[in-house]
Structures are given as structure tokens and as C-alpha cells.
Structure 1
């Protein structure tokens, strides 16, 4: 079942080819230029460095995992006995098959390559249409290799824990923790390698955040400050203001992360209803029961019901 995910690499390649030969030339013909291209070029270079770190981290996990398991033959033999090696399935009743991963993956990646603001800004930063096509195809190949390495790591992790599931044994709280748990168990005695994996994780996150912050800052300046507020700025002022927008967004995210770590999780009855309950939720208690059930869409949740309070208590607490 794990091996089905290699279909995503194929779908990414198809989407990149269609985008490169159909959409990129059209974008280049528009000849849009932007004061933000310099900042985006810096982001592209940081993405290259972060991609190198990601590959190093993945290869470190794969190599040490194969050494621990005794080679790739034993690894694949264990995964095959567990029914994890399956290359094709057209069963529409199964969630992950060729239908969802190849066809659905194509449309998912196609939306990113062809219509995502951060991607299009990258195409426009390159000097020629041919260079933009080459960069897109290189990205598709690199992403495909990254997906294949991730699939291989999934096979290694399954083979390692085939006889003892740490999630079932309550050694981890969430199933998503199994890879970090595997890394600390296998690489903990190798100095520096757990840190390399941590750098790999952060590089994967920051490579997305960096371009997203740049795009979000550009939207704030162009659509809100210049569009809604009607302000006029020179290119030099725009570049300076875009840093303010990026810093503001980064600060909000950073403060939210810090607060989430400093505060403990609260029970529903411990939270002040005025902070979490919209006015509509409170006022809906005055409607007939049949109307309220339609609004809930058939979903019943005990914690959600605890959060709802009478209208009088909401305004007088």
C-alpha cells in the first residue's frame, strides 16, 4: 500500500510538463514585471540550499535504516509479507489507488504549478521562457525524487516496526510521531544525524513559508494598501513596505506558536464562552429544534454542546 505513493511523482511530472509548455509561455507573453522579483530571487536561492539539506536528511535516514535492517532485500521482504508492496490497483472502493494518486494527484499538483501565486512569481523572475521551462522541469524531477525517497522511508519504518507497533504499544501518542520516534531510536547514537534530520524537517517547512510570506506581503501591498486605501508608492517604497508586511505576518505566527506552547490545553467547560462562541451559535438556541438540527448537518459532538450556553448567561456572565 505504501508503494502507491510513487504515483504522486508521476502526476507531478505530468503536471509540470503541461504547465511548462502551455501556461508558462502565456505568462511570459504578458511581460509582467514586479519590484518584488529581487526578494523572490533570494528566496529561490534559499530554497535551493534547503532542498540540499532535505536530501541529506532523507538519505541519512534511509542509509542508517537499511544498515539496521540488514539491507534492502530484507526490508522489502518484510514489507511484502505485510502487504505493503502493491504497485497497481483500480479498486474505486479503496482510498489510495491509481485513480486518486495519479489522476487526483495530477489536478492537485497542476493547481500548484499553474495557478499558485508563489510559483508564477518564480517563473516571471527568470530571464527567458526557456529558462522558466527548464526550472519547472528540474523542480518536477527533484520533487519526484523527494517523493520516492519518502516512500522508501515509509517502507523502512514499516519493516522496522513490523513486529512491534509503537502506536499500539502506547510508546507514541499520535501516528504522525512514528518517523521522529524511528529517527531517535535508530540515529540517536550517531552524533549529528538527529540534528541533520531536524534541519531537514525545518528546511521543508521554511522553503514553503519563505515564498508564502513573500507572496502574502505582495498581496497586502498591492491589493490592500494600494488598492483599497488608494495609496501610491514608488518601487523603492514598495520594497521597503513589503518587509514590514512580512515581519508583521511572521510576528503573528511566532507569537501564536509561543503562546500555544506556554498554555496548556483546556477543557471545553474551562473556556470563557464569550471568547469562542459566535453570536450566531448563541442566537440559534432560540430557533426551532428542527432548524437547529439542519444547521448541525447531522453532526453531534459532546464537547461542542458543552460550549453552548443560554442567551441570558452569554450576555450576563
Structure 2
């Protein structure tokens, strides 16, 4: 694939996510691993935004080859006069892929803030998006999960803008950009290791020529738009139907006039739990909703919810009203 027209396409995709008037002259940071997808991101961005990018590579300390991959990216960046920063992370115990992802994005956020970058871009593409959607469908994920990888968002627990300008590109197109440059990319063996769910799904997709990853990725965008609308409705529900009701002893609490579809109420319940200092998953909030809707008490995240029906003055009709308070301390058993 010729670099110049590909770079023009990339520039158009990028400006749709990050308009020129938002950039304020700040560089775009690129997360580059040394694999074909992220190397294509580097090549396209360098052609489209000469002198206005910076690159970082993260070594998770999981494979001995990772140091060589970081060195590869460092050489390619130096040859093009692109500022480069190596990032090493230490993973917390637990689910390795999840911990690696969390550590990677935290490191990228710190780098972006320290370097004064306007945004960070990753090389997620249409095939990635299709794999993510199909994996989550197979696991019975709700709409929040099925929304897939967002084209634009924020790195968690930061204000750093996160962009994914390649979601409309196929993996093969990106590989062709790298091949045309004469660069041999690094290959992560976990990408084809059948021990990983994603690798097995990737192999299955490769043999299913009747599936179109680009169109699956488009469906993920439509789901994301639907989820964005639900988030907007949940925000409205919070402001209109939730009231703070602290007790005479100063114990914080909330009453909730629950009169919306279940999927909205679940988001409102989660927000109430957070406001009271607790934590719960959507699955736990869904089970709590079912108990409350059936007229039964529910306990989650250290919060007790008690259902009732009463006339609500602001609407003038009887409604379900659920009251949330921190659970009382349990007596010590000797």
C-alpha cells in the first residue's frame, strides 16, 4: 500500500476524532509496540503529522523479547527524528491481561501528561473491534461491554484524551503499509497462542470469509451510540429521581423513585452505591434490581436497599421508592 494516499486517509480519520481546533499545537502521542499494527500507526502519523508526534513503547516485563521490540521502535523513531520514550511497568497480582492493560494505560497517561501531549493514539483496528465484540457476545456481555472499543475517550483515572483512529482499517491494510516501507515488524507469539481466547477467535475469523470485520466493527459503533444515549438517560434519572436523605443521626442515604427501564435503573443503582462509598458490578446491581422490583430488600457493596411504594409529591402519583443506606455494622460474634 502506498504511504502517501494511506496517510491522507489516516489524516481524515484522525481529524474526525480530533479536530484541528482542539489540538492547540500539542503533539499526538503514539503507543507503539513494534508489531505491524502499531508500526503502521507510526508510519502513517509521521507522514500525516511530521514533527507533531511522539512515541512511547511499554515493556510489561512478561517476555524476554519485549526489550528488543522496544529497541526496534526506538531505532525507527530515531531514524525519523521522532521523540521516543521507553516505559517499563510492574504488574500487580491477578489476571495478567487485565493487569497488563491497566498498567500500560496508566504509564501512557503519565507519559502524556509529563510530555504535554494533546492526546494518545493506539493502533486498534477493525479486526480487533470485531474480535472484541464477538468475544463479548459469546460471554453474554451487556450493552456497556458490547459497545466495544471506543474511537474516542479518556484514559481511565486521567484526563488524557485517548484516540483510536484506525478502527476503520483492516489488519491486512496496516500490514501492507509496513511491508511497503521495508520494515520487518515484531511478532508477539501470544497473538497466535490457542491458550488465549482471542487467538482462537482470530483463527476462527480468518477461516470464516463470510464474516466482514469492518461491518462488525460498524455494528459496535452503533451499539456504542445506543449506550451513549442510555448513559445520558441515566444522568437525567439521577438528577430527577434520586434525592439525598440523610438520617437524623447524620447517616447518609438516598431515596430513588424507580420508574425507568431496568437497564437505566441499574446504572442509577450503581451511582448510588458509589456515592455511599461502596462498589458493585453491573451484574450485582441487576440482581439487586430484581429483588427490589419484587419487593424484597437487597444488599450490595456495603449498602442496604429497602423497597416501598408511596405517593411522590413531585409527580403526584404512587411510585416505587427505594431507599439506600450504608449497611449497619454487624455485631461481633464471640
- Name whichever structure is richer in strand by fraction: 2
- Name whichever structure is richer in helix by fraction: 1
What range is the shorter-chain TM-score in? under 0.3
TM-score (norm 1): 0.28
Identify which of structures 1 and 2 has the higher relative contact order when contacts are C-alpha pairs closer than 8 Å and 6+ apart. Answer: 1
TM-score (norm 2): 0.27
